[in-house]
Structure 1
Amino acid sequence: MTINASDDLFDRPDAPISPFRFDADVARVFPDMVRRSVPGYAELIGITGLIARRVARPGTRCYDLGCSLGAVTREILARTGPEVRIVAVDNAPAMIAGLRARLADLPGRERVELFHADVEEAPIEQASLVVLNLTLQFVAPERRLELLERIRAGLVPGGALILAEKILVPSDRGGDLLTALHEDFKRAQGYSDLAISRKRAALEQVLLPDSVETHEQRLAAAGFAGFARWYQSLNFVAWVAWA
């Protein structure tokens, strides 16, 4: 499988619009897709690594839940020391295979454990950092609090969760502007109106965003001692929450 191909998955007007899946076709184009779809993605990943450098502790684990091709995993690997284990979890075989290939020549790759599993089923133990990077939005809404509670229970004292999500914006002038600017961003990256429309239709069947208020209420309900918003680019937001 060739990875790093250009994202042309939604350019065919005659192809049926099925629910979005992280299959081999998506894995093939995923780096290009996420770069052209998520504003500020490189900075989001880079600062996640800086947070990992501050909070990861020797003898603990860092979890990348919904790791896809491992941008977060590889950033944590580069930013943490040899006594930190990294656990990368994804339920898509193509993503795990792609990450395994990307780790093959990296120093310290023996610190990374790859698990083909649902993030809701992965055990979380002795964790100093857990990352949910654009992942919670694909979990059924009624099960999101339970997942956060499991993460909180698996954190060591002083451990942290990084949560990054596409947010549900209000139906007002500000929210409409953010939505329009996100589409403008994708056009500026070379996506056609057809591709934007078709991908939106595919994602709307599986990606169910929450508002900022809902996310923050849920973090408090899950038992985190506090949290801070550290990133926003248009309708994408990231928090760090601590035990």
Structure 2
Amino acid sequence: MNTGKDAIYSQPQQVGAFTFDQNVAEVFPDMIQRSVPGYSTIVDAIGQLCGRHAKDNSRIYDLGCSLGAVSLAASKYVQAQNSQIIAIDNSEAMAKRCELHVQAFKSTTPIKVICDDLQNVEIKNASCVVMNFTLQFIPPEQRKAIIEKIYAGLDQGGILILSEKLKHDTEQGNELLIDLHHEFKRRNGYSDLEISQKRTALEDVMRTDTFEQHQSRLTSAGFIDVIRWFTCFNFASMVAIKG
């Protein structure tokens, strides 16, 4: 599908809170590739992880699916019989474009797209649940309950794949990682104005945790192991296993 170049913050403006609206949906593939280091690697590996762990007659949930990159990657690798991918996003603009992508892809594994808040959706009979840069946009006080809900809906041996922008536990380390990330964005064509305005837009919307906070929350929910398999600057992806 045709997608545009991200120029949302290229002009001086009164910056409001970041939202996944129609403007973002139209440029999201460009935005995410130029903003998140290793994004293509992360998505493809998530597809592989889903392929390894999907069981016959089970569900794979893509929570906060945006335009469906993870769902489509999973469908490429999943060989389990009678399995289904359920893609959920609370942004109508994102969900509509995701549906178009799914229809164009013609996946052999059925993908059902739902526009709803993930907290309203029951998780059940799941072999894999994915939150690819989703939890960071959920209010911190709600995260524990969401992780516990996912754990309860996973089958034994099921996995939760969680990708997040992380906060380092020292101010010095955190500033270093932020600086490296900003330089990554500059090298991908973003101006200092765009970087600054985007940071302002995200300030009260995306609240990051340290890896240790994620690990503690996951193990408290009952996961027996948490493996951080990808890290670049302040971005990481981890797999939590239900015993």
TM-score, normalisation: structure 1: 0.96
Q: Kindly indicate whether the alpha-carbon contact (under 8 Å) linking 2:168 and 2:174 is maintained by their aligned counterparts in 1.
A: yes
Cα distance in 1 between the residues matched to 2:25 and 2:188: 19
Match of 1:31 in 2: 29
Question: What's the CA shift string for 1:175-204, capped at 9, x where partnerless?
Answer: 322111000000000000000000000011
User: Once the 2 structures are TM-superposed, how far is the Cα of residue 3 of structure 1 from its aligned partner?
Assistant: 4.6
User: Once the 2 structures are TM-superposed, how far is the Cα of residue 23 of structure 1 from its aligned partner?
Assistant: 0.4
- Change in Cα spacing, 1:236 to 1:218, as seen in structure 2 (3 Å) is same
Match of 2:17 in 1: 19
User: Once the 2 structures are TM-superposed, how far is the Cα of residue 174 of structure 1 from its aligned partner?
Assistant: 3.0
Question: What's the CA shift string for 1:121-151, capped at 9, x where partnerless?
Answer: 2110100000000000011101101000000
State the SS of the aligned residue for 1:22: coil
Match of 1:233 in 2: 232
* 1:106 correspondence with 2:105: yes
* 1:138 correspondence with 2:137: yes
Which letter maps to 1:7? D
Match of 1:163 in 2: 162
**Percent sequence identity over matched residues?**
41
State the SS of the aligned residue for 1:104: helix
Question: What's the CA shift string for 1:77-104, capped at 9, x where partnerless?
Answer: 1111252100000000010110111112
Match of 2:215 in 1: 216
- Structure 2: runs of 5 or more not aligned: none
Matched residue count: 241
Trace 1:81-230 onto structure 2 (pairs within 5 A): 81=79, 82-108=81-107, 111-230=110-229
Which letter maps to 1:199? K
Q: Kindly indicate whether the alpha-carbon contact (under 8 Å) linking 1:3 and 1:27 is maintained by their aligned counterparts in 2.
A: no
Which letter maps to 1:133? N
The structure 1 residue matched to 2:49, chosen from 51, 61, 68, is 51
CA RMSD of superposed structures (Å): 1.3
Cα distance in 2 between the residues matched to 1:217 and 1:127: 22
Q: Kindly indicate whether the alpha-carbon contact (under 8 Å) linking 1:103 and 1:109 is maintained by their aligned counterparts in 2.
A: no
Question: What's the CA shift string for 1:40-83, capped at 9, x where partnerless?
Answer: 10101011011111100110000000000011010011111252
Which letter maps to 1:74? L
User: Once the 2 structures are TM-superposed, how far is the Cα of residue 110 of structure 1 from its aligned partner?
Assistant: 6.7
User: Once the 2 structures are TM-superposed, how far is the Cα of residue 169 of structure 1 from its aligned partner?
Assistant: 1.8
- Change in Cα spacing, 1:3 to 1:26, as seen in structure 2 (3 Å) is farther
Cα distance in 1 between the residues matched to 2:37 and 2:115: 28
Which letter maps to 1:101? L
The structure 1 residue matched to 2:62, chosen from 57, 61, 64, is 64
Cα distance in 1 between the residues matched to 2:108 and 2:101: 10
State the SS of the aligned residue for 2:120: coil
Which letter maps to 2:208? P
TM-score, normalisation: structure 2: 0.96
Cα distance in 2 between the residues matched to 1:135 and 1:126: 21
Q: Kindly indicate whether the alpha-carbon contact (under 8 Å) linking 1:3 and 1:29 is maintained by their aligned counterparts in 2.
A: no
- Structure 1: runs of 5 or more not aligned: none
